[in-house]
């Protein structure tokens, strides 16, 4: 699997940055993984952009925007859990890669916290 980045922003903490990953330009070799990852990347990008906008402007967003961000956050959490469940199933079915897959699943869960 290879992920291609589309340089659309600066992650270095400078002014006016947005998360530099465009989910539509991802190149993923396995269709089942692609169907899981593309919505997840889109949701994470939305959350990161919302957080950066909030931090840069220093003022609270509307109730509607906050509810939307919370809804996206819940969807991301559910998507991560589904992704990890698939990874653990793959690990259970492939003893030769089981330790590495369990480690990757553990890291994915931690990253989602």
Question: What's the Cα-to-Cα distance from 63 to each of 1, 44, 60, 69, 105, rounded to whole Å?
Answer: 39, 20, 9, 10, 34
Q: Is the pLDDT of residue 12 over 70?
A: no
Q: Is the pLDDT of residue 4 over 60?
A: no
Model pLDDT for residues 32-73, shown as the tens digit of each residue:
766 777 777 777 777 777 766 766 676 666 778 778 778 888
Q: Is the pLDDT of residue 83 over 80?
A: yes
């Amino acid at each position: 699997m290879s992920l291609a980045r589309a340089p659309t922003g600066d992650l270095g903490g400078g002014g006016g940055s947005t998360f530099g990953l465009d989910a539509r330009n991802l190149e993923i070799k396995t269709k089942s993984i692609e169907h899981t990852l593309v919505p997840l990347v889109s949701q994470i990008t939305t959350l990161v952009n919302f957080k950066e906008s909030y931090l840069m402007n220093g003022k609270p967003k509307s109730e509607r925007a906050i509810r939307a961000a919370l809804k996206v956050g819940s969807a991301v959490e559910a998507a991560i859990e589904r992704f990890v469940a698939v990874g653990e199933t793959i690990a259970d079915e492939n003893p030769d890669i089981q330790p590495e897959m369990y480690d990757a699943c553990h890291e994915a869960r931690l990253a989602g916290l």
